[in-house]
Structure 1
């Protein structure tokens, strides 16, 4: 048996669990830095924090983060603090929450409907993107904007490199704009795809970044050379969301296709596909283990409007 076949068999023995709770569909899922809690953001204007037991089968504890007056489109955890989480909403605010109490600790009023948010790896800054293609950098300590920039092209997902020296913008032009940080000076424009680039993920080992596009392809880039080294071609619809696992060995990608593709980063080959019932909005690997959280437009098992997310990677006890 080859190593590839052995990996596939390992994934095939795993199963997904469903986590209901939101009243409407879930737009975003994210793990905290210790991999013990998962947050979900929903169209129902709330976020929820779930304490996930990797092998437990009991009732899962969750806490509701309530205060936004529009959809919670994206959220991210403080990379250095396991109980601080930031949420971006269409209500033009960004909020920082304490996941232990469920209380909002900080609030920043920005100028547009916020759709993207990401933490700097050292936890000192938060970058926020809105529907008007404006980027805002917040100082976390004061929770005030320290930099704003409006772009004259469509800006989609944003990310820092693991060293924080590079800041990436994915654009509707099919490019990835590479900026120096903190100056935000343009360094390079990568002609990445033939259609808009929707999402970006950074390899936790700092070797690569991956870009998902409306052309249904995922490209893998060497971060030191800024060269494309591989393309993943399994999806047939625009790629909405991608994530590297904690070892950088696997890349999960999802779209409107009714499966999530898990591929080996080095070979480009698919090692497993997770069937889905609807288009996916968010996939994210746990930072410590091979648990993959995913959420989309699907309803719960009773097909009512309650929003759900699922986690793949549990041993099948059947």
Structure 2
């Protein structure tokens, strides 16, 4: 019998599979998708999943423009909240790191909306971001970064409808991540490199301390992929930066020396999403195609510790912020492992 697990208790890797394998996977079915002529398949297309800071709510954004906030303890859709207003595919959702009920969402038509999930109200909206595909909060919750497929990054305020500043990048960018101090942001690029920029200046944070060839940049970047780098995620401990690429690889960089310590190459498709457990001990990657399982990796060794069988590929996923509880998409449906779905 698996041990009872309290929040914030870390499991060693030799006990993780026995514990996590004993937990149930609960489906959270959006019955409205069927009524809209979208059967329970990838037509519904969950594009993003996010937990709020306390782990009491889960938000999902879908290709069919559906933005929904779920109570993980109550899987019936009648206990969820639909937030209406987007007119295009929702590419990313993210809760404010310091405000439990403030949610940001960005759609592919270049609109960012800020929501109060308690009242269902859209409290702010920023337009004109182009073909947007990425969104991240600064750790103190005072600002956001959004990006589009043309390499533009936009600094936004949660209380202003105008763009604060625009920063054109030399290469197309993908889903970025902040350092926990908020002074740096890690920006994956189509070239397969990861830029480390100061925030809010958006200038290179590090440069080489040796002479470079004529025409070459002195900017220090991380190199870990042979194809486009699609996402970056900093571990909760701040020890590792994980990056996922179109080459189906997850690279783990030590944030002290900025060396690639190890890679995870078991995935079968482009890595669109990476998530660490609350203690940073384990990580999992989401692929847009290929594979019928989620492979949970031990961060320090790169060992596979557990596989979650799925019906199809899982593009988006997120570990809960306080416990070993995993939310993921499977054939267009949200599923969560590790909550008591029988609670009423």
TM-score, with normalisation over the residues of structure 1?
Answer: 0.91
Structure 2 unaligned blocks of 5 or more? 1-10, 34-43, 207-219
For 1:63 and 1:36, the matched residues in 2 are separated by 13
| Aligned counterpart for 2:15 among listed residues 3, 6, 11 | 6
For 1:231 and 1:86, the matched residues in 2 are separated by 31
Structure 1 unaligned blocks of 5 or more? 299-306
Aligned partner of 2:231 in structure 1 is 199
Please say which of residues 75-84 and 58-67 is displaced more in the overlay: 58-67
1:131-155 deviations in Å (ceiling 9; x for gaps): 2221101022334322211223221
User: What SS is found at the alignment partner of 1:155?
Assistant: coil
Is the aligned partner of 1:153 residue 2:168? no
Which of the pair is proportionally richer in strand? 1
User: What SS is found at the alignment partner of 1:14?
Assistant: coil
1:80-134 deviations in Å (ceiling 9; x for gaps): 1110000000222100001011111101112302211110000011100112221
CA-atom RMSD, angstroms? 1.9
Please say which of residues 128-137 and 74-83 is displaced more in the overlay: 128-137
Specify the structure having the higher radius of gyration (Cα): 2
Please say which of residues 181-190 and 67-76 is displaced more in the overlay: 181-190
Decide whether the 8 Å contact of 1:33 with 1:81 is kept in 2: yes
Aligned partner of 2:292 in structure 1 is 258
Decide whether the 8 Å contact of 1:159 with 1:168 is kept in 2: yes
Decide whether the 8 Å contact of 1:17 with 1:312 is kept in 2: yes
Is the aligned partner of 1:312 residue 2:337? yes
Decide whether the 8 Å contact of 1:14 with 1:316 is kept in 2: no
Please say which of residues 26-35 and 233-242 is displaced more in the overlay: 233-242
Deviation at 1:202, TM superposition (A): 1.0
Aligned partner of 2:189 in structure 1 is 171
Deviation at 1:314, TM superposition (A): 4.0
For 1:14 and 1:111, the matched residues in 2 are separated by 41
For 2:88 and 2:77, the matched residues in 1 are separated by 29
1:166-198 deviations in Å (ceiling 9; x for gaps): 111111111001111221111321112111111
| Aligned counterpart for 1:16 among listed residues 5, 25, 28 | 25
Decide whether the 8 Å contact of 2:317 with 2:327 is kept in 1: yes
Is the aligned partner of 1:106 residue 2:131? no
For 1:263 and 1:316, the matched residues in 2 are separated by 26
Judged with a 3 Å threshold, the aligned counterparts in structure 2 of structure 1 residues 33 and 88 are, in CA distance, closer, same or farther, namely same
For 1:19 and 1:154, the matched residues in 2 are separated by 35
Decide whether the 8 Å contact of 1:240 with 1:280 is kept in 2: no
For 1:59 and 1:277, the matched residues in 2 are separated by 21
For 2:186 and 2:316, the matched residues in 1 are separated by 19
Deviation at 1:60, TM superposition (A): 6.3
